[in-house]
Structure 1
Amino acid sequence: MFHPLRVSRVDELTDDSVAITLAVPPELRDAFRHTPGQHLALRRLVGGEEIRRTYSICAPASPPGVDPVLRVGIRLVDGGEFSTFALKELAVGDTVEVMPPMGRFHLDPRQGYFAAIVGGSGITPVLSMVTTLLEREPKARFCLIRSDRTVASTMFLDDVADLKDRFPDRFQLVTVLSREEQQSGLPSGRLDRERLTGLLPALLSVAEVDGWFLCGPFGLVRAAETALRGLGVDRSRIHQEIFHVDDGSTTVTAPATAPSHAALTATLDGRSGSWPVRDGESLLETVLRARADAPYACKGGVCGTCRAFLVSGEVRMERNFALEPEETEAGYVLACQSRPATTEVELDFDR
């Protein structure tokens, strides 16, 4: 369910990115408490068309009894209707429709040694993670490896520098610029699999890290995952969230030929219904014809908002950049990318 929230602050981070702070009214404080790493779905209407986008929360999680702070980082995307609106029009006092926090790319504060490899705006959820962790858990350590084009394009530069000043013994920061030489530190260039394979063991004891968090564009996340697996890191210790997928660099599974007269039964917010699946429809589109409140945001298999449990039947997912292998093995699918492979399919959005 979306709620109207007032914009209380707009901060320019770089020439092409801003941080938006949203005020949470008292009656919605519990609904909008977030776990470090979660994101928000934002919605606006343009010419009668609904536009939804997801943006990660960069603010640390508020402890019980303290009002939640909702602050999201938004980077301009070429042709992006919502990001263009956010950077050029959104102002303090405006109202934005927002869905409560969601997402499973998160880190609950606990003792241990953690590390993240991020690119560009991928810093946004990790900033929430590392800030919350270091503030709440005195025995935790964190290594942040971030890749950006130039210093001028680096989001949350001051916020990360502040963490280094506050927690010099427990926070390690490694910065790599792909298009600009640094006066000190690592040489410029992209963080590909080969470079990460050599770099990571030189920076830290890879085997001692309790959890790796990878976030950013598809190429970086896949390169980092491959490098870590090659260095012997178990899959269960690698968590990832992809912010951008270049269709030219990925393989999309060919759409399944749906059986004739396929039917979908779905449960959402405790209510169930059954509907025929029309030719060419995804299962999310089938549900949306009858239930406008069905959860979704990107419709591209990236954000994971439309995750549902496959109760019965079989489906074929065309793309999946949101669900961990453990989730798909447990029976979860992305409704926006799923098409029926059997005459009857049942989904549960509530599990």
Structure 2
Amino acid sequence: MVPTVPTFHPLRVRSVERLTDDSAALTLDVPPELRETFGHAPGQHLTLRRVNERGEEIRRTYSLCDPARSRPPSLRVGIRLVEGGLFSTYALKELTEGSTVEVLPPIGRFVLQPRPGRFAAVVGGSGITPVLSMAGTLLAREPAARFCLIRSDRTTASTMFLEEVADLKDRYPDRFHLVTALSREEQHSGLPSGRLDTERLTALLPALLSESGVRETDGWYLCGPLGLVEGATEALRALGVPRDRVHQEIFHADTAVAAASAPPPGARAMSGSATVSATLGGRGGSWPASQGETLLETVLRNRSDAPYACKGGVCGTCRARLLGGEIHVDRNFALEPEELDAGYVLACQSHPLTAKVEVDFDA
């Protein structure tokens, strides 16, 4: 079967439900003929697209928060307003019931398929969104599963999906354990205020689950800002959790932009004369790269259907397999070590180092 390139579909906005002062849940209707196309696994996300008044195409990814369904009649994502965010500002201030949004079918490898066992998540802010889908799906489908959620937010008022998480706690009191930390507000009970950094998590997790319980948890899911995810990863490593049980998805990496690795001397010297070959949707092509371009930029100049969303090394939408040549990668917050070992790269962050580079978006 020849691979097909996912295409955008116009979906009608059913509702825009305000969650906090700076966030909302966007619900989209899925017509019957597209429901199989939009079937999703727990933890996957959607890519949304708009064209602004200047004709510029803006794409962003948002995680699905409802339990997974194979033929969903609707899709619900959580959107938090980002300062200066071109899509989040539009979504929260301009989208209304009856509006139309262009949407790609669900993608993503930050997924928890229901199975027996003990699972846990450490999330911050809007990082609750995919984990809410994971926990809801797991607990509903697998009676032999348990889930521990450790979430961090600034204040109660800024906490997304409060009611949905409380509902999980009410429905599964013996199998769902919730721990909340607020960084800017004291709680009457529970954890003292403050950020969940490496030191604090290293002490907290064994107290919640026991040291052996932390190590024996079948899967850890970390989602949210870069600092929280890195801190949780370090804590789990220090507590002896096997690497293959830790899964992560970064939602915000702005603080790392300035610290992005610099290319080695001469790293982009080949850009003016390099040729990029790419396979996409079963069709191949080869094109000259312009000075300083990423692989994605070269491909997009010739194939407008090349997959991408954030262009910041965070979402992983532009993942491709490197088949030949050498590249320099500016930064990577999306691919896990096993994907890198298998030869996958982020096209939006990769620059040619050799005269010929070949990638496969279908792999």
Matched, 1:100 2:105: yes
Residue number among 285, 295, 318 corresponding to 2:297 in the alignment = 285
The amino acid of 1:159's aligned partner reads E
Matched, 1:143 2:143: no
Residue number among 113, 116, 129 corresponding to 1:111 in the alignment = 116
Runs of 4+ in 1 over 3 A off after TM superposition: 66-69, 247-250
Shift in Å at residue 248 of structure 1?
5.0
Q: What is residue 137 of structure 2 aligned with on the other side?
A: 132
The amino acid of 1:38's aligned partner reads Q
Matched, 1:79 2:91: no
Aligned mates of 1:249, 1:192 — CA distance in 2: 20
Shift in Å at residue 67 of structure 1?
3.2
Q: What is residue 239 of structure 1 aligned with on the other side?
A: 247
Q: Evaluate the alpha carbon distance shift between residue 201 and residue 98 of structure 1 in structure 2; reply closer, same or farther with a 3 A threshold.
A: same
Q: What is residue 4 of structure 2 aligned with on the other side?
A: none
Shift in Å at residue 68 of structure 1?
4.5
Listed one character per residue, the Cα deviations across residues 220-270 of structure 1 (whole Å, up to 9, x for unaligned) are 000000000010011100000000013357631213224251101100000
Aligned mates of 2:120, 2:334 — CA distance in 1: 20
Q: What is residue 263 of structure 1 aligned with on the other side?
A: 275
Q: Evaluate the alpha carbon distance shift between residue 68 and residue 314 of structure 1 in structure 2; reply closer, same or farther with a 3 A threshold.
A: farther
The equivalences for 1:322-337 within 5 A come to 322-337=334-349
- Secondary structure of 1:242's aligned partner: strand
Q: What is residue 13 of structure 2 aligned with on the other side?
A: 7
The amino acid of 1:269's aligned partner reads G
Q: What is residue 43 of structure 1 aligned with on the other side?
A: 49
Shift in Å at residue 29 of structure 1?
1.0
Matched, 1:206 2:217: no
Matched, 1:190 2:195: yes
The amino acid of 1:17's aligned partner reads S
- Secondary structure of 1:267's aligned partner: strand
Q: What is residue 169 of structure 2 aligned with on the other side?
A: 164
TM-score after normalising by structure 2: 0.94
- Secondary structure of 2:106's aligned partner: strand
- Paired positions, count: 349
Shift in Å at residue 72 of structure 1?
0.2
Shift in Å at residue 69 of structure 1?
3.3
Aligned mates of 2:256, 2:347 — CA distance in 1: 23
The amino acid of 1:233's aligned partner reads V
Aligned mates of 1:324, 1:250 — CA distance in 2: 22
Identify unmatched segments of 5+ residues in structure 1: none
Aligned mates of 2:21, 2:168 — CA distance in 1: 23
Residue number among 120, 127, 132 corresponding to 1:122 in the alignment = 127
Aligned mates of 2:199, 2:318 — CA distance in 1: 34
Listed one character per residue, the Cα deviations across residues 204-228 of structure 1 (whole Å, up to 9, x for unaligned) are 1202200000000000000000000
Matched, 1:155 2:164: no
Q: CA RMSD in A?
A: 1.1
Aligned mates of 1:305, 1:31 — CA distance in 2: 17
Shift in Å at residue 28 of structure 1?
1.1
Identify unmatched segments of 5+ residues in structure 2: 1-6
